[in-house]
Chain A
Amino acid sequence: MQQYILRRAILNIFVLWIVATLVFFAVHVLPGNFAAQQFAGANLGGVTPEAIARAEAVLGLDKPVFEQYGTFLWDLVQFDLGESFRSKRSVWHELGRAVPYSIELGVLIVLVGFTIAIPVGIISAVKQDQLPDYLLRGGAIFALAAPVFWTASIGVILVLQWDLFKIDVDGQPHLWEDPRLALQWYLIPMFAGGIASTATTMRLLRSQMLEVLREDYVVTARAKGLPERTIILRHVLRNAWLPVLTVMGLTVATIIGSQIVLEQMFNVPGVGRLLFQAITLRDTPLLEGLVLVVAFVVVFTNLFVDLLYGLLDPRVRLA
């Protein structure tokens, strides 16, 4: 067991090193950088190649690529992600400000997602090939196809049409600071993101439940006259929900993707928005740091899910 964890962790670190290398060379080898980008934005008369070169020298972008790569890796081993070109603050500092917002919104999205997906998956399986099943599956097909920025826009349209509440709130409050105002701010993005993440979970839960419903012990439970409710909740759901966990890693990646869009749309100063800014401004250290942190979350969520799986289901042995 310990050996397994160790081996997986080492493999994950290897994967993260490849991620770091890919990002590094993607942003360093291809033309254009932060210095050039800055001058492209500012419409100054005296932008000479020398001025750009000077700016590059200040940022250390003039050194040979492999020297920069070496420094980058060496800093990385010491958990030093460098400082943002734009804000001149350390990447960890930027992360410290952004992460709480992203976790808040992410957790809300997951909550909404599961609150919808679990009952929908159960009903769809229990009423297999009946009207509710068709309607719910149709809904899932729709939710999988609808872009999150579109569902969020529809949400905004509805709120504006009926003048329900103010979407732009002041002061970017956290949930623990001003729960009411924060929830008002998060309401549309959390539902848009939640709905987008339900389809996969719901479909998997449904197919798993259908499989378990055919098991002998369910027949036995029926034969001994247990109420249907008990059978579904105690015997079927208990055995069906575990595989749903395995897609959590995938779900996390999807949610991070939709958070980039939602944070951008609703001015949430989270990781997704920061990442988008880092990409557009070519803020290399910030970009590398953020991508690595996101990749870290994804690969270790997968490891965690696999371990949890073995822990919760003794039938699964880790090889």
Chain B
Amino acid sequence: MTPPDASSALPFEDRISPLARFTSASRALGRFFRQKRLGGFGLVIVLVFSVLALFAGALGRYDSTFVFDAENPNFKADPTVAELAEDPDIGSPRVVAQYQAPSGDHWFGTDRFGRDIYARVIHGAKLAMIIGFGASLIAVAAGLIIGVISAYYLGWIDLIVQRVMDAIYAFPFLILILLLVQISEPSTRNVVFALGFGGIPFAARLIRSAVLAVRGSEYVQAARVIGASDLRIMLRHVLPNIGAVLIITFSIGIGAYILAEATVSFLGAGPRGEISWGRMVSSGRGELDIHPWESVFAGGAITLLVMAFNLLGDALRDVLDPRLRGV
């Protein structure tokens, strides 16, 4: 322990030892799991998907682009011309293993091109995670700047900023995203930016109301009285006190961004060259009557991950700031 006179010169946070921090953090996590079972369930699924996304190569069992083949059940060594006309593959002993049902070899079956659906679902987790975290980060960062400025200065700045936010809000989210993706190149980066941009009004609104609450507090008034600059007040007094709202805003939007990307990809406008669950559902629609597996499993993965993020976000909100219930 350092003598009290020396430590009091340090800011309060720096006086807590790393060990105490660790134990208090792990205790808080334990409490979270006990009190918020659904949130804990969400957290576990999110972690599982994160591991799958990070180690997709090892956990996916197969290469996501490898084309499997299988023995041709209709194989004939010397087919006649008429038989060949009816089934062009009849002369080859092995054919592409397309539309296979789930089995020990292919847990989720194979798709139209004979690729392993399980491997593709696992690899698809990468895109979903990048989209979810990336878009939410952009929305919160931009929403932070807009929300703080709008709520701190109020007046006509606030009025105009809020009307622009209303205008973006009046676009149904999906239309906005489709529009933005279509006018730019449909790459992963652009889709992330489009989704993040679409999420700004939502983030800015939450952050603005949090700043409004802090703004009226006595410590902000006191800081102003001793002559602190606007920037100093925003960084030293406002920002540290809206941390909980920032975490909530960040976590609660992720599910919606993943869902939106899946929808855009389903419509065929998603990021090119990536494995997207939304596009898998779409490509599986060709033969739904004989082979529903690709659509079912890819869509199931979307649902499960979005659900997990929603549950986690709700639980974090309840723990960190119960007043925000219902947003």
List A residues at the B interface (Cβ < 8 Å): 11, 14-16, 18-19, 22-23, 26-27, 30, 32, 141-142, 144-150, 153-154, 156-157, 160-161, 204, 207, 253-254, 256-257, 260-261, 264, 275-276, 279-280, 282, 287, 291, 294-295, 298-299
Contact = CB atoms under 8 A, between A and B. Distances in A.
B302 A150 contact: yes
A145 B326 contact: no
Interface string B207-226: 00000000000000000000
B172 interface: yes
Given A291-B175, A294-B175, A18 B163 contact: yes
Contact of A26 (B180, B285, B296): B180
B273 to A, nearest CB: 19
Contacts, number: 139
The 9 residue pairs across chains A and B that have the minimum distance between CB atoms: A150-B299, A145-B307, A18-B167, A257-B174, A145-B306, A295-B170, A160-B289, A146-B303, A157-B292
A19 B178 contact: no
Contact of B299 (A16, A146, A279): A146
A154 B173 contact: no
Interface stretch (B67-75, B113-121, B240-248, B262-270): B262-270
Nearest to A281: B182
A279 B179 contact: yes
A30 B182 CA distance: 10
Nearest to A150: B299
A145 B308 CA distance: 9
B296 A280 contact: no
Contact of B303 (A11, A150, A295): A150
B51 interface: no
Given A153-B299, A160-B288, A30 B170 contact: no
B182 A145 contact: no
A295 B174 CA distance: 13
A157 B170 contact: no
A16 B167 CA distance: 7
Nearest to A254: B172
A33 to B, nearest CB: 10
A18 B164 contact: yes
A298 B170 contact: yes
Interface string B155-169: 000000001101111
Contact of A141 (B267, B302, B311): B311
Given A14-B163, A260-B174, A145 B255 contact: yes
A15 B295 contact: no
A142 B172 CA distance: 22
B195 interface: no
B259 interface: yes
Given A144-B310, A156-B288, A279-B178, A19 B171 contact: yes
A147 B292 contact: no
Given A15-B166, A299-B170, A147 B262 contact: yes
Contacts of B167: 15-16, 18-19, 22, 295
Given A147-B278, A280-B182, 8 more contacts: A15-B163, A16-B167, A18-B163, A150-B302, A157-B292, A257-B175, A275-B175, A291-B171
B267 A264 contact: yes
Contacts of A15: 163, 166-167, 170
A144 B313 CA distance: 13
25 contacts: A30-B184, A141-B38, A145-B255, A145-B304, A146-B299, A147-B259, A147-B262, A147-B263, A147-B306, A148-B263, A149-B263, A149-B299, A153-B285, A153-B299, A154-B296, A156-B288, A160-B288, A254-B172, A264-B267, A279-B269, A280-B269, A294-B175, A295-B167, A298-B170, A299-B166
A97 B222 CA distance: 63
Nearest to A22: B167
B281 A149 contact: yes
A150 B280 CA distance: 11
Contacts of A299: 166, 170
Given A160-B288, A279-B179, A11 B266 contact: no
Contacts of B288: 153, 156-157, 160
Contacts of A19: 167, 170-171
Contacts of B285: 153, 156
